[in-house]
Amino acid sequence: MKVADIMQKSLTCVSEETPLKDVARMIFSLGISGVPVVKGKKLLGIVTEQDILSKMYPSLQELAEDYVHARDFESMEKNILDNLETPVSKIMNKKVKTISGSIPIMNAQSLMLVNQFSRLPVVDKNKNLIGIVSQGDVFRQLIRSEIPRLEKEKYAEFIGKYYDDMVNWRTRLENEVPVLIRLFQKEKINSILDLGVWTGEYTIALAKAGKIKLTGLDHNSNMIDMSNKKREKLSFEVKKSVGFMFTDFKDFPEKLNEKYDAAICMGGSLPYFPVSLDELLRNVAKSLRDKNALLVLQVLNFEKILNSKRRLLDFKIQKSKDGLHKEHLFIEFFEKKNKKTLHHHVIVFDCDGINWIYKGITTIDITYVTKDDLENALKKAGFKNISFSGNIGEYQGEFGRLSFTGKFDPKESDWLNVIAKR
């Protein structure tokens, strides 16, 4: 494997005239260690976080050494600010170690370790900058077979941290829970299996509203831990009616102690399960009572998102609940990997009231589920009475009223809702 096969080709670069303050903003907001300096495509040098700090160091060192007797704080502050106007050409390192894209990745890794570099610029035969390779790039390539599992764990941890900030729970629950409770009362539902609980908020809301026994399942232990922590804060009456269980969704019918009156999968969780749609619905059918069992599904209308919403699922600024930041910015979008798989990307920025700081991106592969896919899989699992409906409503924001009567329009509906019986 060559460096050119794994290097980062989309680069953040600056010109030699760029003020140091702009470079500092890039480094600190993007969370990177340095930025290449170029003229056209030619690599002139590189400026790092350490270079920027060293430019301010004399004033900072003076202040640290004689804080009490420092003579002119305003002059020192002015000196630091003046330095930030300095062109990057004045402090950049011009003796940059570079490599060719044709060398083996382990050779690049060796060079980085020996020179204590975290990354190296990659140039072509004309010394034009064509990419950057990092130790992380090499590491990811070496454990490529483990990446899908690691990405799922990263996604779960990332979403677990931010999910309750991302969702307008009050609006969502007001628009959905009463509709479900009326349906359950009509169908005489007393026990429910909740598939894909995320942070447990939805499951607990149903338990509070309906006096129904609920068991929530999820394939991520972090989500189950978060849900159980919330359960512990409930009143005794509500607590005894709700529980959470970890499962890989392959053998959960054997782990359950009873058959349930209904199963639900809300909020678009269905495409994220680590089993095929056919296997999931077969197992759901095994978990339900033989007669008059009910299955309710709520799935995002991916066709609308991909075609008319330009792949954008959500763009939202929310007030922070962590006490450390003023606001969070969440960006979610999909990319079509193939006919059956989508990439789900989530990007987060935090704001301290002045600056927006990039906190990271996480990506996971999910199943591209359509109305036809659901209908075929439900019939295979033994569900004969199947009805489809749709409603409008943002994914994480202004939720529309949940509807089981509105017509599903693949071009207009935000949600595909399903009621199925055996």
**210 and 86 in a common domain:** no
Per-residue confidence (pLDDT) for residue 304, from 0 to 100: 95
Q: In the predicted model, what is the mean pLDDT of residues 239-247? A: 95
Give me the pLDDT at residue 402, please.
93
115 with 225, same domain? no
Is there a single domain that holds both residue 183 and residue 240?
yes
Inter-helix orientation angle 169-186/201-210, to 10°:
50
Look up residue 19 and give its DSSP letter.
B
Instruction: List CB contacts of 381: < 8 A, sequence separation 6 or more.
Output: 278, 281, 282, 284, 285
Is the pLDDT assigned to residue 116 strictly greater than 70?
A: yes
Q: Which residues contact 242 (CB under 8 A, 6 or more apart)?
A: 203, 204, 207, 213, 214, 215, 216, 231, 234
In the predicted model, what is the mean pLDDT of residues 277-298? 95
Greater pLDDT, 374 or 127: 374
Q: What is the pLDDT of residues 76-89, one digit of tens each?
A: 556 666 677 889 89
Residue 212: band (very low, low, confident or very high) from pLDDT cuts 50, 70, 90? very high
Looking at the domain assignment, is residue 266 inside a domain? yes
Side chain identity, residue 66: D
Q: In whole numbers, what is the pLDDT of the chain averaged over residues? A: 87
Query: Average pLDDT in the 38-55 region?
Result: 86
* 3-state SS class at 35: strand
Claim to verify: residue 205 and residue 238 sit in the same structural domain: yes
Question: In percent, how much of the chain has pLDDT > 70?
Answer: 88
**Per-residue pLDDT, 146:** 53
Query: Which two three-digit tokens encode residue 184?
Result: 């359950």
The torsion angle over the Cα atoms of residues 241, 244, 249 and 250, rounded to 10 degrees, is -90
Enter the pTM of the model.
0.69
Whether 29 maps to a domain, the answer reads yes
The distance from CA 420 to its chain's CA centroid, rounded to whole angstroms, is 31
The CA radius of gyration of the chain, in Å to the nearest whole number, is 27
The answer to the question of residue 350 being in a domain is no
Averaged pLDDT for residues 373-401 = 88
Question: Residue 145 pLDDT more than 60?
Answer: no
Tokens matching residue 420:
């199925």
The residues with which 129 forms a beta bridge, in sequence order, are 123
- CA angle, corner 314, sides to 313 and 320, nearest 5? 150
Phi, psi of 178 (to 5 degrees): -60, -35
> How many domains does the chain divide into?
2
Domain span holding position 114? 3-142
Is residue 226 in some structural domain?
A: yes
User: Is there a domain that residue 322 lies in?
Assistant: no
Q: Residues with Cβ < 8 Å from 330, sequence gap 6 or more?
A: 162, 165, 166, 314, 315, 316, 317, 318, 346, 347, 348, 396
What is 360-413 written as a DSSP string? EEEEEEEE---HHHHHHHHHHTT--EEEEEEE---SSSSPPPP-SSSPP-TTT-
Across residues 91-101, what is the average pLDDT? Answer: 90
More confident residue, 76 or 38: 38
Higher pLDDT, 69 or 15: 15
Provide mean pLDDT across the span 100-122.
88
Question: How many residues are recorded in the chain?
Answer: 422
Whether residue 73 sits in one domain with residue 215: no
Are residues 122 and 165 located together in one domain of the fold?
A: no
Same domain, 113 and 185: no
Asked if 281 and 314 count as a contact pair (C-beta separation under 8 A), the reply is no
SS3 call for 12: coil
15 within domain boundaries: yes
pLDDT at 60: 46
User: Residues 296, 415: one domain?
Assistant: yes
Residue 22 CA to residue 25 CA, distance in Å, equals: 5
Task: For residue range 3-31, list pLDDT tens digits in order.
Answer: 999 999 988 899 999 998 888 888 877 77
- Name 125's Cβ contacts closer than 8 Å, sequence gap at least 6: 100
Specify if 9 maps to a domain: yes
Q: What is the pLDDT of residue 414?
A: 94
Contact at 8 Å (CB) between 77 and 70? no
At 220, the pLDDT band (50, 70, 90 cuts) reads: confident
Question: How many CB atoms lie under 10 A from the CB of residue 135?
Answer: 15
Q: What is the mean pLDDT of residues 406-413?
A: 94
Q: What CATH number corresponds to the domain at position 296?
A: 3.40.50.150
* Mean pLDDT, range 255-265, rounded to an integer: 95
